[in-house]
A and B are shown apart, each in its own frame.
Chain A
Amino acid sequence: MITAWRSIGGVRWGWFIAFALVLLLLPLVYETHTPTVLLIWALFALSLGFMWGYAGILSFGHSAYFGLGAYVYAIAAVNIGESTLPLILAVFIPACVAAVIGAMMFYGRISDVYMGVMTLVVSLIMFKFMNATAGDQYAIGAARLGGFNGMPGFPTLNVPGAPHISLWGVPTYYVCAVSLLICYLLCRWILARSFGRVLLGIRENETRCELLGYNVPACKTAIFTISAAMAGLSGCFFANWAEIVTPSVFSLQTSSDVIIWSMVGGVGTLIGPILGAMALGMVKLLLGQQTLINNFLVFGFILIVVVLAMPRGVIPSIQYWWGNRSRRSRVPSNGGRARRRLTVKPAERS
């Protein structure tokens, strides 16, 4: 009966397996340093796109959780000396912070505009604070926060339980790729549950969902928390990839980048933000190698073009075009007789 929801919650396994194979086989033909950061950004964009596209919650300061994941990992790794617990903390602490901030916003009946401002302010406070932590007094255990110079030299990912076997290069790539695939499946799984459908209802009409007896603030806080946990995980991977954490992880540019990636890729899909982040992330890296054109101008131009030409984003527009094409091809011309004659049943063949 619920055909639309089935398509929202269902995984197109053919595409998923093809995408997974490309990710898993890529290291055989290409270096992994650049693809790793693209996967990390894709995970970050997925975290925002999931919340924005399916629950209608736009966070203007999602970098707060990305940066928090990065810093929590670095601080914990310096103090603990291995990566397993820091990795868990990098997911758990941003999630807890988001749960508190989300509960304040959503139970406080703060409207969308003010919510956007609040999320932005949180990230800017983090950015300003971390920039001001250059003194020796800003240390947590053995970890000095380092102010605008950031935190270099923390232990990177290692095999769980074996701190002496560190993961670097291809293994890190695979950790990021598998994490992205798992998070994608997790998002799909959530959307296929009642909770996912309630999220869609909230996106469409928050008041009606409340009048149906759903605890809208609790649902919104939950999705905000899940999204922040994914952003924290991506921040943790970013710290490992860059081998240094600086306050720029909290910057306005980080927040705006992920919004642009999601918008261009297509909000309301999961694959849109992922592919948007990968494509525009690659553009960002290529632009970073030259000084002729300002990156912001290029991204602004791309955003304007996409918003004007494909307001729903690239992937939803392609899906819409493909759906229309398929529907047109199914409409039988000539009463459908000619088309049907082309299809011969097995019994007729014999």
Chain B
Amino acid sequence: MPRHNSTHSVFCITPPHMLREIILNGSAEQRELAVRSITVSEQIRGQRGAMTKDILSILKPAVAGEKQRIVYDAKNGSQLPGTPARNEGDPATGDTAVDEAYDGSGVTFDLYSDIYSRNSIDNNGMRLDSTVHYQKGYDNAFWNGQQMVYGDGDEDLPEAQRLFNRFTAALDVIGHELTHGVTQFEAGLVYWDQSGALNESMSDVFGSLVKQYQRQETADQANWIIGEGLFTSNVNGVGIRSMKAPGTAYDDPVLGKDPQPGHMDDYVKTIEDNGGVHINSGIPNHAFYVTSIELGGNAWEKAGKIWYKTLTEKLTQRATFQEAADLTYQAAGELYGTGSLEQIAVRKGWSEVGISIGGDAPTGCLPGILSVFGIKSK
């Protein structure tokens, strides 16, 4: 019989599901005790150690390319993370939101891993934690610095008044939230004004790429809608934002019109929404769209790689749109060569939204013609 001290025996009478809870949610110390306890009690009972294996799979740090997910259920409360509902490798639960959060974070992990060789949110195998059924009537999703959180929409209102479905319904929303985590570990874009709008835009860009990657759509096949499926049939709209045509995603008697600009001329100055981070993100969003269309093929391949390199190697915390434009241009040059088609596409993308690379690129017809003859019009 294995030797065990009194601390162990306390845990020996603790039911396995509670030990599992402790391991998932407890402090490092509690965790260690619980693991030892399970090992010991299994040895005592002469079992094969199925529980130990299960527990070890939860604790084991991720190795490259191996994802680790836990989806929690807040049961309509606001305590995070809530109760574990599905762990890595568990079969589908039948709870739609739980399964969508599980699958969606998995596809997002795959895009980052397969295409950008990134090992999870922190590039170090971080576990992907999501909580669903957050609060009642919570028509939103967010990244709290450690995990993704999703509400069920307007489920608490009478059907005729409901505008929003559950927020896990759109895969790009899941990619969007997880990307906030990536940005936090990389450029650390401050969530205010232009750097905040860039933070938002990066989340829309990679959120959209996750959806396109899953559907294997080329840039011109994709609809570039963010949050498709979030509105109920009561709303006149196709989604929350359009990267293809910012400002056109919805136009509804109750919700009003999509306020996103697609050009610097229409930049919105506001102090609400952290300086309009969800509004002005339309500008860099559209620059990415134009670049992707210019390049053709799968947006995650070239445009995505340029933006990923910019996010992870170049952008600084308080970057402006102008800096983002210049740095994507620089990244394209490093990846594909100075004067490459890719660099030209990036220049075109930003110029369509009113931002010139380096701030002095020739735009329009006449300067273009002049530049052919080596004459600079500025």
A and B: bona fide binding partners: no
- Residue ranges of A at the interface with B (Cβ–Cβ < 8 Å): none
- Residue ranges of B at the interface with A (Cβ–Cβ < 8 Å): none
